[in-house]
């Protein structure tokens, strides 16, 4: 067997691209980004097995970082430890990873959140206000009502449209309850 090749050039562009490609496949649901594609585009001089090892290492690091949703302090400590390890990363690589995470953290975290939303959620909402011109009861004529259409559904499934009528009293009732939710939410963000 030939002597091992020199490690691939560690210019920030290829590694950054690699991390992007890994994220595309793992977090943004892009199945077209294969290992072969990445190697050809970013590391054409690297042998397949070596590239495979690099991709696996970087993928593992990114997964650890994303799973812990690391803030800058945690990230710094983590990456520093990785540079000190046997078979770890270089400080140049650490810098590229840190920059990548700073730019993509929110989007990756959101994607992870979405991966665990399995219940019905509110996809969209529209409304209009009608004037009731006909009614079963004479006293309801010319009262304004809000017609609300809510699009509900589970991730990746067909939506269900819920169409509801609210008169002024019902809207007040709703607002009261929504205020309660908002209050609870404020308390929650204050204590965490």
Partner 1 sequence: MVRALEALDVGSVADKINLIPQDFFAELCEQIIQHLNHKIPGINTAELCQRIQTSGVEINVGDLAKIATIISFLFSTAARNNLSTEELVTTLGNAVSALPKHAVQVIRHVWNEQGESISVSEDARNMATVGQFVDIKWKLGVAMSSDTCRSLKYPYVTVTLKVADPSGQITDRSFEMTIPQFKNFFRQFKEMAAVLETV
165 CB contacts (<8 Å, ≥6 apart)?
A: 145, 146, 147, 148
> Least distance to partner 1 from the beta carbon of 149, Å?
9
φ and ψ of 165, to 5 deg:
-105, 135
Closest by alpha carbon to 47, among 2, 82, 97? 2
User: Among candidates 68, 70, 67, 43, which has minimal Cα distance to 55?
Assistant: 43
Q: Which of 66, 79, 94, 96 binds partner 1 (CB under 8 A)?
A: 66
**Interface with partner 1 includes 31 (CB under 8 A)?**
no
Give the HSE-up count for residue 84: Cα atoms under 13 Å, Cβ half-sphere.
Answer: 6
**Of 26 and 95, which CB lies nearer to partner 1 in the complex structure?**
26
CA angle 189, 119, 154 (to 5 degrees): 120
The residue within the footprint of partner 1, chosen from 8, 41, 68, 158 (CB under 8 A), is 68
Measured CA to CA, the distance from residue 62 to residue 22 in angstroms comes to: 9
Contact status: 106 vs partner 1 (CB under 8 A): no
- From 78, 147, 157, 158, residue interacting with partner 1 (rule: CB under 8 A): 147
Binders of partner 1 in range 153-192 (CB under 8 A): 162-168, 170-175, 177-178, 180-182, 184-185, 188-189, 192
Site residues, partner 1 (CB under 8 A)? 66-69, 109, 112-113, 115-117, 119-122, 125, 127, 129, 131, 134-137, 144-148, 150, 152, 162-168, 170-175, 177-178, 180-182, 184-185, 188-189, 192
């Amino acid at each position: 067997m030939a002597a091992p090749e020199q490690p691939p050039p560690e210019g920030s562009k290829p590694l950054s691209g690699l991390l992007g490609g890994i994220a595309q496949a793992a977090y943004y649901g892009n199945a077209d980004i294969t290992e072969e594609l990445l190697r050809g585009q970013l590391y054409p001089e690297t042998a397949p097995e070596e590239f495979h090892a690099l991709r696996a290492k970087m993928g593992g690091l990114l997964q650890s970082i994303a799973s812990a949703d690391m803030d800058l302090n945690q990230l710094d400590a983590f990456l520093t430890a990785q540079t000190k390890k046997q078979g770890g990363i270089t400080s140049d690589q650490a810098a590229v990873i840190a920059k990548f995470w700073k730019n993509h953290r929110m989007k990756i975290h959101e994607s992870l959140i979405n991966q665990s939303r399995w219940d019905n959620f509110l996809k969209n909402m529209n409304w209009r206000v009608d004037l009731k011109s006909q009614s079963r009861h004479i006293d309801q004529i010319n009262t304004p009502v809000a017609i609300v259409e809510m699009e509900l559904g589970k991730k990746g499934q067909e939506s269900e449209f819920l169409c509801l009528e609210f008169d002024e009293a019902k809207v007040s009732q709703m607002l009261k309850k929504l205020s309660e939710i908002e209050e609870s939410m404020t308390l929650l963000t204050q204590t965490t």
